[in-house]
Amino acid sequence: MTLNITDEHGRRVDYLRVSVTDRCNLKCEYCRPPSSGQPPSSGQPLSSGQPPAPCHMVKFKDLLRLVQVFASLGVRKFRVTGGEPLVRKGVLSFIRQVKQTPGVEQVALTTNGVFLADMAAPLREAGVGVINISLDSLRPERYAAITGGDLFHQARAGIDAAMGAGFEAVKINMVVMRGVNDDEVADFARLTMSNKLQVRFIEYMPATPSTWSREKFMTMDQVMERVGALGALAPENKARWGGPAKIYKLEGAMGEVGFISPVTTHFCAACNRLRLTAGGSLLTCLFSTDRLELEPMLTNGASDEQLAQAIASHARIKPAVRDMETYSRDMDKSMIKVGG
């Protein structure tokens, strides 16, 4: 009998986002609360000379065991994220082993790209198929203001390296914030004219409620209007793994533009994903308030069957629709802690 994960609303779950760390070399305001006490931005991997941050991370060997259990439950796509996943020592070897796990079809990565100039080729070789790179400005000074790190040129070099490394897809994620970077929407869309990139515009979510502001929020309809002013937009077929982006191509473009609107609309009916935080909590939704603590089960010697049963049963309570309001009342929540 093939096991799989199906929730109470009949949705099949075959995608897990795995946060491997809640540390990051950048400090984007919308992602981490100002008081998070994380080490300052340096552009260096955090393992080289900086004091360890007080966060707990599940060991890679335990994460791999969980990946095997998820794969035995029919999960086929794994996204490695964080924090910044590339600051964690051993992440390449972890990714290689995830890709080699029976049942795993796709390994994707979300990164800020700062380390990609050196790591793009090894990541591709380790088995990353699709890479998403976050970039919120094409202007070095503004990039520094948004991220707290003067690392724009490193991120750009990382994107170039990724485009040359043979990934199935290179995607750029831009969180659009009114008065912060919304005047760059057209510049980002123009990147797709002569580059085989997918530029994805994302609505600014209250994922870190203590720093979110309504004034900076801009709807995807407004963003799409600006992109549409550049030329005709032709809808593209949905990607193999589905996903929340509405994908289009500007006339004559080599690449694509994607629009993601988690705030003004939602894609919950087609949601196929779960999230694992760096500390080993299983979440059924980015905005969920439920969690299943998996690490104590590992420490207490749970069998694979017990883990699989606990995971499948927790996943059943995946909410029909995301509850952003309840989530947003908790000022301690942050994207960096949940995992991107």
Distance CA 5, CA 190 (A): 40
CB of 55 to ligand SAM, least distance (A): 14
Binding to ligand SAM (CB under 6 A): which residues in 267-296? none
Tell me the closest approach of the beta carbon of residue 287 to ligand SAM, in angstroms: 11
The β-bridge relationship of strands 77-81 and 5-6 is unpaired
Total residues at interface with ligand SAM (CB under 6 A): 20
**How long a stretch of residues is the chain?**
340
The least distance separating ligand SAM from the CB of residue 81, rounded to whole angstroms, comes to 5
Pairing mode, if any, of strands 12-13 and 246-250?
Answer: unpaired
Helix, strand or coil, per DSSP, at residue 246:
strand
Residue 158: Cβ within 10 Å count: 25
Exactly one of 21, 106, 110, 198 binds ligand SAM (CB under 6 A); which one?
110
- Token pair of 39, please? 């080490």
Contacts of 324 (CB under 8 A, 6+ apart): 205, 206, 263, 287
CA atoms of 190 and 230, how far apart (whole Å):
8
Decide if residue 154 touches ligand SAM (CB under 6 A): no
Strand, helix or coil at 313?
Answer: helix
Paired tokens of 339: 């995992």
Which window, 6-14, 197-205, 222-230, 291-299, contacts ligand SAM (CB under 6 A)? 197-205
Could you tell me if 42 and 25 are in contact, meaning their C-beta atoms sit under 8 angstroms apart? yes
Q: How far is CA 159 from CA 73, 120, 131, 187, 282, in A?
A: 34, 9, 10, 16, 31
Per-residue b/e over 226-242, b at no fewer than 16 CB within 10 Å?
A: bbeebeebeeeeebebe
| Residue 126 backbone dihedrals phi, psi, to 5 degrees | -75, -15
CB of 299 to ligand SAM, least distance (A): 27
Nearer of residues 111 and 272 to ligand SAM, judged by Cβ: 111
Footprint of ligand SAM on 170-189 (CB under 6 A): 173, 175
Nearer to ligand SAM, 109 or 315 (CB): 109
How large is the angle between the packed helices 220-228 and 185-194, nearest 10 degrees?
Answer: 50
Does position 208 interact with ligand SAM (CB under 6 A)? The reply is yes
Closest approach, Cβ 251 to ligand SAM, in A, equals: 27
Please report, as residue ranges, which positions from 65 to 94 form the binding site for ligand SAM (by CB under 6 A): 81-82, 84
Residue 204 engages ligand SAM in binding (rule: CB under 6 A):
yes
Q: Pick the binder of ligand SAM from 38, 134, 198, 261 (CB under 6 A).
A: 134
- What would the x/- binding string for ligand SAM be over residues 10 to 39, using CB under 6 A? --------------x-----xx--------
Tokens 């750029």 belong to residue: 172
* Part of the chain binding ligand SAM (CB under 6 A), chosen from 106-114, 120-128, 221-229, 238-246: 106-114
Which of the residues 113 through 132 are near ligand SAM (CB under 6 A)?
none
57 and 88 in contact (C-beta within 8 Å)? yes
Which residue in 205, 218, 245, 278 binds ligand SAM (CB under 6 A)?
A: 205
Q: Which CB atom, from 6 or from 328, has the smaller least distance to ligand SAM?
A: 328
CB-nearer residue toward ligand SAM: 78 or 298: 78
The one among 155, 189, 207, 223 contacting ligand SAM by CB under 6 A: 207
Residue numbers at the binding site for ligand SAM (CB under 6 A): 24, 30-31, 81-82, 84, 110-112, 134, 173, 175, 202, 204-205, 207-208, 335-336, 340
